[in-house]
Amino acid sequence: MPFRFPAPDVAHPVSLPDGSSHAGTVFLAAVLDHPRFEVGAYTYASAFDPPQDWAARLAPYLFPFSPERLVIGKFCQIADGVRFITASANHRYDGFSTFPFAIFGGGIEGRPSMPGPGPGTIIGNDVWIGQGATILPGARIGDGVIVGAGSVVAGTIPPYSIVGGNPARVLRPRVPEAVAARLQALAWWDWPIARILSAEAEICGSDLDALERIAGAAA
């Protein structure tokens, strides 16, 4: 019998033994309504004190009028306390003072104390971001990355690597580079959910040949 799996538009996908839903875990695509925040199917976030506004909790400086975007792929896992510090949090730091005079009245458009637009932040697919990690503006985190708890991540992180620390550095690759390339070519996260569940053992295991045979049989 195939396993039952919640649809990606279910807000609270985890059921407790008494049949109630776990309020602290959400599929983000079902609960976000933010013009600058894009998230893929089945990506979830967890919080011990679940907020009313998940976008504000995760990315407090990403405003509806922000020029940058925060893009998160499919099947990502975001632990409690993770924060995305997006570019709208920036101050100018190329001159003598970083003080943002413009935000205290008189309009901010064209004011010399305001920085220019900053880069967006891109998170790949099947990324696990551990407890209390901070993702800085413009970070590019590849598919399959694991971000250690409490890490502060900036820059580009290669696919299928494990990073940790402040500033975060690559601790080791999860798989050899050639294997990472084959996994990205498979892109299992784009398969129909029924096929993903039928291949759960292969996706969570380490037999890449078997996973590629499943992909080939479905082609």
pLDDT for the residue 109: 83
Residue whose structure tokens are 């602290």: 24
Whole-angstrom CA distances from 21 to 2, 11, 16, 30, 177 are: 21, 9, 6, 14, 40
pLDDT for the residue 1: 41
pLDDT for the residue 25: 98
Cα gap 127→112, rounded to integer Å: 38
pLDDT along the chain (219 residues), means of 10: 82 94 96 97 97 97 96 98 97 95 86 94 98 98 98 98 98 96 97 94 95 86
pLDDT for the residue 216: 87
Residue 130 three-state SS = coil
**Nearest alpha carbon to residue 143 among 169, 182, 171:** 182
pLDDT for the residue 219: 66
Tokens of 103: 């935000």
pLDDT for the residue 187: 97
- What per-residue string of b and e applies to 78-88 under the rule 16 or more CB within 10 Å gives b? bbbbbbbbbbb
pLDDT for the residue 54: 98
Domains of the chain: 1-174 (2.160.10.10), 176-219 (no CATH)
- Please confirm whether the linkage preceding 67 is cis (ω < 30° from 0): no
pLDDT for the residue 3: 67
- Residues recognised as catalytic: 91
Q: Are strands 152-153 and 168-173 parallel, antiparallel or unpaired?
A: unpaired
Cα gap 107→162, rounded to integer Å: 43
